[in-house]
Copies of this chain bind each other. A is one copy, B any other.
């Protein structure tokens, strides 16, 4: 079993959760098998049942396990285990799919927001934003083009410090204390225009996925507005939808 560290800043329920997650990832607990019951965890780990429950509940919310009243709690049989959508950086997403991500910066400049960008980011037209256009590659194969805009006032010295090798989200969090909590996304189908087709190494008018995303930090403050074009032949959206009560 697991020795809990009661002095740690990591909450007990989270330690239990990570322990179970590790058991599942390593194959010690297989899909369909029951995970330890709330009572069992409570007794064996010396925590209250509510704490055990909280650990299981958080895994339920991720779709990793599921509960049945009167029967028990079981490991989900998920071929897609790792790809439940969350707020992920491109590199994290590709890592989850088992590919190595890289990027090529096509454009990095400070510019003035037009009406649509200002609206999305809650700015006034003409306010300064960082314009970042990148080609995204997985295992050196072009996957998509992302065009980000970030309000300049959030990170006024980023233009001097920007390192294209580091994840943008990582820089925002570590350097400016800005953490993306929520991303609203609209995805639709479209056709590649000629410049996009050239960059993505596909035929003109090939099917592509178009994304429009707005990311928000803690106080619902818009942090980033992104338009993306992804290859229809290599990029798919994988989602797990869960019934809410």
Contact = CB atoms under 8 A, between A and B. Distances in A.
Interface residues of A, number: 51
A11 to B, nearest CB: 10
Contacts of A239: 85, 184-187, 239
A243 interface: yes
A162 to B, nearest CB: 23
A46 B101 CA distance: 53
A85 B186 CA distance: 11
A78 B182 CA distance: 11
Q: How many identical subunits does the complex contain?
A: 2
Interface stretch (A59-67, A106-114, A135-143): A59-67
A124 to B, nearest CB: 18
A48 to B, nearest CB: 12
Interface stretch (A1-9, A152-160, A188-196): A188-196
B63 A243 contact: no
Given A182-B241, A188-B209, 15 more contacts: A61-B244, A74-B219, A76-B220, A86-B243, A179-B243, A184-B238, A184-B240, A184-B241, A188-B237, A189-B190, A189-B209, A189-B232, A190-B207, A207-B207, A239-B239
26 contacts: A32-B220, A50-B50, A62-B244, A68-B219, A76-B182, A76-B220, A79-B184, A86-B242, A86-B244, A87-B241, A87-B242, A181-B242, A181-B243, A182-B241, A182-B242, A185-B237, A185-B239, A186-B236, A187-B187, A187-B237, A187-B239, A188-B209, A188-B235, A189-B209, A207-B207, A239-B239
